Structure 1
Amino acid sequence: MSEEMNQVEVKNFEIGDKVTGQVTKVEEKQVIVDIRDSKLDGIIPISELSSLHVEKASDAVSEGDLLDLEVLKVEEEALILSKRKVDAEKSWQDLEKKFQSGEIFEAEVKDVVKGGLVVDLGVRGFVPASLVEAHFVEDFSNYKGKTMTFKIVELEKDKNRLILSHRAVVEEEKGKQKHQILDSLQAGQVLEGTVQRITDFGAFVDIGGIDGLVHISQLSYEHIDKPSEVVSEGQSVQVKVLSVDRNNERISLSIRETLPGPWSDIAEKAPKGSTIKGTVKRLVSYGAFVELFPGVEGLVHISQIAHKHIGTPHEVLKEGQEIEVKILEVNEKDQRLSLSIKELQEKEDQYITDYELPEESTGFQLGEMIGDQLKNLKK
């Protein structure tokens, strides 16, 4: 076509017109297209090929590709076109729907930049570092080329602002999983779990996507001052479900109740008639509670503390005192032990008491005899 005819043809187009063009030549910094239904060629500068930075035009298009384009400039013999603007317009409409519905979709990470990730959705989408994962990530270099799921969390077309989040997807899935687990849990269940976090008052255990609390009192049968004495982060543990509060999403767990109880096989550990060392734990008006094993206490009734009569156990015992006791009775079912201290002590020698009484009596008789003799002398 002559130069004059080209000029006439060009005048049929205006800025903003939509055209279709077929790629006839891919140069390093621009692409030449044959505009359908005309005899004109169009030029797409490399900057108008994609919403993302493109090093070479061949990275974005190939010869023979049929493209939807928008007229940017009308020059004397050619049209300057944009693929990016048409793609963006289509994309914004689609993205607006996704944003309104909260749709989760897949996309490939095109680049890793300072502060986050870049995703091409027809427009440039940005994923801030804080919205990539639910956990902290130090190095994002291996995320380039990775296909991930995203949700749109901010969209402002006028400012060309599109913020995506993978973290929101992870947390949403966790939330669904959490509710499923909450619905399925029942008190009394025994489950495998992993210790996630240790605090002063207990340990949080992950039981498959949801954490439950093992209070310090439910960690062990033995008294402990700190949870770290018996569990550590990352440790696998068996837990029993004590209660489930679905409204507040709270689960109470016990490790202690999955362990053999301290009273288990107590008749073998403390057989009737045997002698065992223990520690006085509590003194009450009717006796003393003595700990024989962690979590196992028995009662020494006040009548079994000493042979002599005592008003209160405090007269002969004190808390924390180490003593020996004899096992009188063992009741594993009711978790009761009857103990005795006095049965391990010798009785006071009754012989001495019996001997003293006649001596007093003899003394009395001698006095009488002397008195009688004096009477006789007076006569």
Structure 2
Amino acid sequence: MEENKDTQHEPETAAPAAEEEMSMADLLKEGEAVSSKLYGRDIVEVTVVQVTADAVLVNIGEKKEGIIPLSDFQDKKPPEPGAVIQAVLEKKGGEGRPTILSHKRAHERVAWQECARAFTAKARLKGRVAAKVKGGYVVDVDGLRGFMPLSLSEIGGAHRHYLPDNAKVKFYITDFSAAEHKLIVSRRQVLEEDENARRGEVLAEIKTGEIIRAVVSKVVADGAFLRFQGIEGFVRLSDVSWRKPEEDLKTLKRGQRVKAKILSIDRETEKISFGLKHLMPNPVDTLKQRFAYRSIVTAKVVSVSPDGAKVTVGERVEGFLPAAEYGHEAVPAEGGQVKAAVIGVNAQDYTLTLSVRSVEAIEDRKRMAQYLKGAPTLTLGQILLESSEDEGENG
């Protein structure tokens, strides 16, 4: 019975041994694959065995070790034993000579491949400003050196350096050749792309009639340009102010902050029309509220022309008395006063339209009403009695 038990346990102890043999075989096969790629000058992944003062020892298969100079890791922390890193064959070893590998060259080759992919796919990449040079910047692209001209560094280009050293930047590759080690990048394209997206979001959110804060960017003869969240709009001269737009336009200065009303939005052309006068009461409405239709005012005659007389009502309100509305006294005298009725408001020059004739008609109606009110009222009997008396006298 004891012998049977031992016999039954033999398969269980044989299985781990088989697995160990397979693992060793796989390891040898993997080592051969690494060696094959390595000597074929391909990029391989190797395991770090030891780090010394001047080198990193790695396992390259075939029970051999390769050496990577520690200087390959000068821009980053050296790897630790057990780490897997990329490398490429630099110099094949021999009797008493170790195999030399390069992590830096492997990294550069991968970086060139990534740049080629990004260039073809028109994808963005990240890097940092390594140095300022004449006409642009040297940009570090994952260990590679690219050039960014000043004209491609800012929106609209730049005439001098604005970016500090080690500034992180995003860019597109505009010209590329791994064989010639050519790498030209453009930050401007990224900035313009982001700016267009941002402008689209702003235009989608704002609405006609909305009150916003903007900055005067330029004043011209027929209006003013306002900049709102990076989008430039225009205020026509007629929308600067109600009364004296030419004079009020001169008070606007570049860089001045103003409130404005959005009058119209063209999202396709990204144009906005602004209004400044719309934040103030319309003088027409103000005059209509202050001077009701057919209300009586006393006006001072300023000047007289064949068309009529210019007058003032109080200190700041101007009016016009058409010749057809003079009344019985005909042409009023300059400097004199007239009593007139308000018959309208001129929306072009914001003046009252007055009429003396209407006042006379109103007063005539009042006198007639007063006369009728003061006359004796006769009854039917009185009327009949007076009628019979008249007949008797005639008889």
TM-score interval for Structure 1 and Structure 2 normalised by the shorter chain: 0.5 to 0.7
Which residue in the other structure is 2:112 paired with? 92
Identity across aligned pairs (percent)? Answer: 23
CA contact (8 A) 2:302 2:310 kept: no
Residue from 28, 33, 36 that aligns with 2:60: 36
Higher relative contact order (CA 8 A, sep 6+): 1
**Cα distance in 2 for residues equivalent to 1:167 and 1:278:** 64
**Cα distance in 2 for residues equivalent to 1:207 and 1:198:** 13
The question of 1:69 aligning with 2:87 is answered yes
Classify 1:62/1:91 alpha carbon distance in 2 versus 1 (closer, same or farther; 3 Å). Answer: same
CA contact (8 A) 1:26 1:58 kept: no
Classify 1:309/1:227 alpha carbon distance in 2 versus 1 (closer, same or farther; 3 Å). Answer: closer
Which residue in the other structure is 2:341 paired with? 328
Query: How far did residue 62 of structure 1 move?
Result: 0.9
Q: Letter of the 1:338 partner, please give it.
A: T
CA contact (8 A) 2:240 2:277 kept: yes
Query: Which structure has the highest helix share of the two?
Result: 2
**Relative to structure 2, which stretch is displaced further, 191-200 or 217-226?**
217-226
Q: Letter of the 1:175 partner, please give it.
A: N
Residue from 163, 187, 205 that aligns with 2:226: 205
Classify 1:90/1:17 alpha carbon distance in 2 versus 1 (closer, same or farther; 3 Å). Answer: closer
CA deviation map 1:209-249 (0-9, x unaligned): 42211122211223344776232333332222222233333
Q: Letter of the 1:68 partner, please give it.
A: Q
Query: How far did residue 18 of structure 1 move?
Result: 3.7
Secondary structure of the residue aligned to 1:59 is coil
Which residue in the other structure is 1:338 paired with? 353
CA deviation map 1:39-78 (0-9, x unaligned): 23324384xx3xxxxxxx5433414254211113336513
Classify 1:82/1:18 alpha carbon distance in 2 versus 1 (closer, same or farther; 3 Å). Answer: same
Q: Structure 1 regions of 5+ residues with no counterpart?
A: 1-9, 50-56, 311-315, 343-379
Classify 1:108/1:96 alpha carbon distance in 2 versus 1 (closer, same or farther; 3 Å). Answer: closer
**Cα distance in 1 for residues equivalent to 2:195 and 2:127:** 22
**Cα distance in 2 for residues equivalent to 1:279 and 1:83:** 96
Which residue in the other structure is 1:103 paired with? 123
Query: How far did residue 206 of structure 1 move?
Result: 2.7
TM-score, reference length from structure 2: 0.61
The question of 1:83 aligning with 2:90 is answered no
Q: Letter of the 2:279 partner, please give it.
A: T
Q: Map 1:1-379 to 2 at 5 A.
A: 14=39, 16-21=41-46, 22=48, 24-25=50-51, 31-37=55-61, 38-44=63-69, 46=71, 49=72, 57-64=73-80, 66-74=84-92, 76=94, 77-105=97-125, 107-114=126-133, 115-134=136-155, 140=162, 143-187=164-208, 189-200=209-220, 201-225=222-246, 229-266=250-287, 272-275=296-299, 286-287=307-308, 298-303=319-324, 328-329=341-342, 331=344, 337-339=352-354
Secondary structure of the residue aligned to 1:158 is coil
CA contact (8 A) 2:239 2:278 kept: yes
**Cα distance in 2 for residues equivalent to 1:12 and 1:308:** 117
Larger Rg: 2
**Cα distance in 2 for residues equivalent to 1:243 and 1:150:** 35
**Cα distance in 1 for residues equivalent to 2:355 and 2:199:** 54
Query: How far did residue 19 of structure 1 move?
Result: 4.1
Classify 1:228/1:93 alpha carbon distance in 2 versus 1 (closer, same or farther; 3 Å). Answer: farther
What is the Cα-based RMSD across aligned positions, in Å? 4.4
CA contact (8 A) 1:154 1:162 kept: yes
Q: Structure 2 regions of 5+ residues with no counterpart?
A: 1-34, 358-395
Query: How far did residue 148 of structure 1 move?
Result: 3.6
CA deviation map 1:348-374 (0-9, x unaligned): xxxxxxxxxxxxxxxxxxxxxxxxxxx
Q: Letter of the 2:108 partner, please give it.
A: A
